[in-house]
Structure 1
Amino acid sequence: MTENAQTAGVDFHCHLDLYPDHEAAIARAEAARIYTLTVTTTPKAWARNQELTRHTRYVRAALGLHPQLVAERAAELPLWERFLSETRYVGEVGLDAGPRFYKSMDAQKHVFRGILERCAEAGNKILTVHSVRSASAVLDMIEQYLPQDRGTVVLHWFTGSKSEARRAAMLGCYFSVNAEMTRTDRGRSLVRELPIDRILTETDGPFTQVDGRPSEPADVKATAAAIADIRKVPVGAVTAAVRSNLSSLLARHP
C-alpha cells in the first residue's frame, strides 16, 4: 500500500477491540502512524472492527476465530466463512496445545483446516497464526492446506524450535516478533536466527505490557530496538527491513 512509505512502525498483531476504549485505541495507532493489524478472536466481533477500520489509513482489521475459544465457538466457523470475502486479513487463528486447551485439539484442527482451505480457495489472504506448543502441527497443516501461491502466513509470537522456524521460512511464512520474545534467552536466540527478510514487529497488546501498562502499537519502536540489539545491527536497519518486509507481504497479496 502507498501509505506504507509513511509508516512509523508496524504492529502486525494487536487486539485493539480489547482495550477499554476501542475507538480511542484505533485513533492512537493512526496518530502514531503505525501500520496496525487488529485481530479478532471471534467472527461475531468482525462487524464492529470492520466498521471502525473501513476508512482508517494505517489500521486494518483481521477476521479471526481464536483456537483458545474453539471449544465454545467451533459452531461459528460458518459465520467466519460468510465474512471472509470482506477482508484479505485473517486472524487470530491457529492451534493451541497448551494444558488448558489441549482437550479441544481435534476441534481446533477441524476449524483451522476449514480456515486454511477457505483461504486457499479465496486466494490472496494474509493470516496471523497462533501456534502455542503446536508449531509442527501448524506447519503440517499449512503445508497441506494452504499452497504458497494462495496465501501467506505470519507466525505470531512464534515459540517453536529453530528447525521449525527454518521449515516455516521454507514454507513462505513470516514471523511477527514482540518485546516479550526478546526478554528470554530462548527467545533472543530464536530472534537472532530468523531470516531478516521475514521479520515483522507486533505487540499482542493488551496481552503484553510496557512500564506496567498494556502495550500499544507505538511500542513496536522499542521492539525494533531490541531486535537490533540482539542481532548487533543499527535500529534503522531493522525498521527499514520491517517496512520492506511489510511492502513485500502486501505486494504478494494485492
Structure 2
Amino acid sequence: MSDVKVRCALKWNSQTKPGLDLTAIGPAPLIDAHIHVDSYPPEQQELLLASLANSSVQAVIAVSMHLGSSRANLQLAKRYPGLVRPAFGFHPEQALPPQAELELLFNWMDEHVQQMVAVGEVGLPYYNRLEASQSGSPFDLAPYIVLLERFIQFASKHNKPIVLHAVYEDADIACDLLERHGITQAHFHWFKGSTATIERMARNGYYVSFTPDLLYEEEIRSLARQYPSDQIMAETDGPWPFEGPFTGQETHPRMTADVIRAYSKLTHQDESAVRQLFYENTRRFYSLSD
C-alpha cells in the first residue's frame, strides 16, 4: 500500500482534535507501546503496517536492536509518518559490539535526535546472564551497566523517554541509575520483579506495559492488579509469539485490544474507559501528537 493510501486510511485519526472525548464517537484508538517492526520479515512489514488502520491502531512505538535496526526503523517512520514512531538504542540481550561501533550509534542518535520518540530498547541482559550461569560460563555484567548509564545520560541530555529491558534484580540496578540522573520518563516493558521493586518504580513515576500474556500469566496479572492505572500501557513486543489463545498466531498490534480487554476484566472496569485510559497514558508518556 502506498504512503498516500495509508495516510488516507488514517484520516480519522489525523483529524482527531486534542481534548476530544473519543468515547463519544467510538472506542479510543490503539497504540502498541513496544514492537520490533524491523524484526518482521521484510515482506510482512508493509502488510502489517498497512493493516493497522483497519485494526484501529493509531501508532506503534518501534524500538530498535542496534544501529542497523535504528536506521531501518527511521526509514519505516519516514515511509509511514505518524504511524511508526521510532526509538533508537541497543538491545542488551546480545554481545556488546566493539567500542567504535557504539560510538557510531551514539553519533548517529545525536544526528537524528529530532526523529526519535525515545531511547530504546536498552537495558541489562538478565536472560543471557541466567543462561551463562546455568551453563557455568562466565559473564561480565559491568560493561552492560556502563552502556546503560550512557543511554540514560543521553536520554537526560535530550529530554527523551527511555524504554527499558530490565527485569527482576536488574530492574533495581536500572532504578539506581535512573535515580542518579534524575530520570522519571522511564518505560519498563514486559516487566517482572519483586513487590519492593514494583513499589519503587511506581513511586518514581515509571511506566510499565503489559503484553498479551496478561491473559494467561499470573505473574503479569498480579503486576496489573498492583500498578497505578495512570502508569500503564499495552504492547506486543512483536514479532515475539504468545501462548494461550494466541498460540500459532502472528503477533500483531491489534492484540493490544486483547490486553486492554483482559485488564478491564481483571480490574472490573468498563472496557471503553480502560481503552481510553491506555490511549491517553501512551500518548502522554511518549508526547505523541497527530
Partner SS state of residue 284, structure 2: helix
Question: Residue 23 of structure 1 aligns with which residue?
Answer: 46
- Mean Cα displacement is larger for which, 97-106 or 237-246? 97-106
Partner SS state of residue 161, structure 2: strand
Question: Residue 187 of structure 1 aligns with which residue?
Answer: 220
Q: Mark the runs of 5 or more structure 2 residues left unpaired by the alignment.
A: 1-12, 23-27, 134-138
- Which structure is larger by alpha-carbon Rg, 1 or 2? 2
**Equivalent residue for 2:275, pick from 236, 239, 246:** 239
Separation in 2, partners of 1:30, 1:46: 24
Q: Is the 8 A contact 2:33 2:282 kept in 1?
A: no
Residues 251/37 of structure 1: CA separation in 2 closer, same or farther (3 Å cut):
closer
Deviation sequence 1:155-195 (CA, Å, 0-9, x none): 10010122212211222211111111442222211111110
Q: Mark the runs of 5 or more structure 1 residues left unpaired by the alignment.
A: none
Count matched residues: 250
Over the aligned positions, Cα root-mean-square deviation in angstroms equals 2.5
Separation in 2, partners of 1:185, 1:60: 31
Instruction: Using structure 1 for the length normalisation, give the TM-score.
Output: 0.88
Identity of aligned residues (%): 24
Q: Is the 8 A contact 2:152 2:162 kept in 1?
A: no
Question: Residue 222 of structure 1 aligns with which residue?
Answer: 258
Deviation sequence 1:63-119 (CA, Å, 0-9, x none): 020001243466532222123224232211111223136714212101101100111
Instruction: Using structure 2 for the length normalisation, give the TM-score.
Output: 0.78
Residues 30/145 of structure 1: CA separation in 2 closer, same or farther (3 Å cut):
farther
- How far does residue 153 in structure 1 lie from its aligned partner after superposition? 0.9
Matched, 1:92 2:112: no
Question: Residue 90 of structure 2 aligns with which residue?
Answer: 65
Separation in 1, partners of 2:217, 2:46: 33
- How far does residue 16 in structure 1 lie from its aligned partner after superposition? 1.0
Question: Residue 211 of structure 2 aligns with which residue?
Answer: 178
Separation in 1, partners of 2:131, 2:98: 16
Partner SS state of residue 90, structure 2: coil
Please state which structure has a larger fraction of its residues in strand: 1
- How far does residue 196 in structure 1 lie from its aligned partner after superposition? 0.4
Separation in 2, partners of 1:164, 1:80: 31
